[in-house]
A and B are shown apart, each in its own frame.
Chain A
Amino acid sequence: MVEQNIYIDNLFGSLADPIRRDILRRLTTTTYSIGQLAQNYDVSFAAISKHLKVLEKAKLIHKNRRGNEQIVSISPEAIKDAAYYLKQYESLWQTRHNKLDTLLKEES
């Protein structure tokens, strides 16, 4: 559980920044080189590179070298895990509320 907590902390931390969220949104449809990605933002190449490092550390993206370029793509497992995480929390409340449905029905 400890390792998972660290993973989740990284996940939320990596999504905290609007640029990081936007990078992820773009990567859901296609892959980009770091240079292509950087062109979309009003910040330095170094800043984008730093954002990508954070996302990579949280296992949300990975980088592959193609010639002189680094190609960035999204990691499907990471996105699935984020959705899974929220789903487990939701299931706690769904179960609770289904029981309340039963109670409300019994009383009428």
Chain B
Amino acid sequence: MSNKTTVTAQPNTTTIVIEREFDAPRPKVFDAYTQADKLEKWWSPSATAKIEIDARDGGMWKFSDPQDDGQLMTFYGYFHEVTAPERIIQTEEFANIDERGHVALDKYEFTELDGDRTKVTLTMTYTSIADRDAAMDSGMEEGVVQQFANLDRLLLDA
């Protein structure tokens, strides 16, 4: 039985809050969020995704993944604050749209829980309600794709 991920996105707001508990101590969870080799193992549903990350104040991060149509899909941003192992504040922008400026601010909070467990709260704040909804739309599509991938795996195992 895995821990449950909760998503809170009130209509007509610019934020999405994602909460999750992990059965691991805080420094270890923090490392999994800030080291490229670890992130590549869990962040992306795609095996071809590349992650560059310089997790320190002012550092940059970049996530890119070549698509079937030859286009390189890229998300990137800068770290405003990296305070190990408790907090990360960073910007995030999708590079594959013509108009720049649709930047989100992501805040990760790592909270220690009893029994060497950790809670991660991610608050994503967009500059408009439309941007927030667009981010959820694309996430929804990815979620559906993942579900089918999981289903395929399940059917192969059966």
Q: Which residues of A line the B interface, CB within 8 A?
A: 1, 5, 8-9, 12, 15-16, 21, 85-86, 88-105, 107-108
Decide if the interface of chain B is mainly helix, strand, loop or mixed: helix
CB of A86, distance to nearest CB on chain B (Å): 6
**Considering the chains assembled together, what is the distance between the CA atoms of A101 and B139 in angstroms?**
20
Chain A residues with Cβ below 8 Å from B41 are 99, 103
Kindly identify which residue among A95, A96, A104 contacts B23, using a CB–CB cutoff of 8 Å. Answer: A104
Stretch among B3-11, B68-76, B86-94, B101-109 lining the A interface? B3-11
Chain B residues positioned under 8 Å from A102 (CB to CB): 42
Q: Is the Cβ of B22 less than 8 Å from the Cβ of A90?
A: no
A-contacting 9-mer, from B55-63, B77-85, B140-148: B140-148
Number of B residues with CB within 8 Å of any CB on chain A: 35
Contact of B11 among A15, A93, A99, A103 (CB under 8 A): A15
Chain B residues with Cβ under 8 A from A93's Cβ? 5, 7, 18, 20, 139
Q: List 14 A-B contacts (CB under 8 A).
A: A1-B141, A16-B11, A85-B136, A85-B140, A89-B136, A89-B139, A90-B5, A90-B6, A90-B143, A91-B147, A92-B142, A93-B7, A95-B143, A101-B22
B2 and A98 form a contact (CB under 8 A)? yes
Give the complex CA separation of A94 and B150 in angstroms: 12
Question: Which chain B positions have C-beta within 8 A of A98?
Answer: 2
- Residues on B lying within 8 angstroms of A by beta carbon are 2-7, 9, 11-12, 18, 20, 22-24, 28-29, 32, 38, 41-43, 45, 129, 133, 136-137, 139-144, 146-147, 150
A91 CB contact (under 8 Å) in B129, B136, B137, B143: B143
Residues of B within 8 A of A91 (CB): 143-144, 146-147
CA distance A104 to B23 in the complex (A): 8
Q: Are A101 and B143 in contact (CB under 8 A)?
A: no
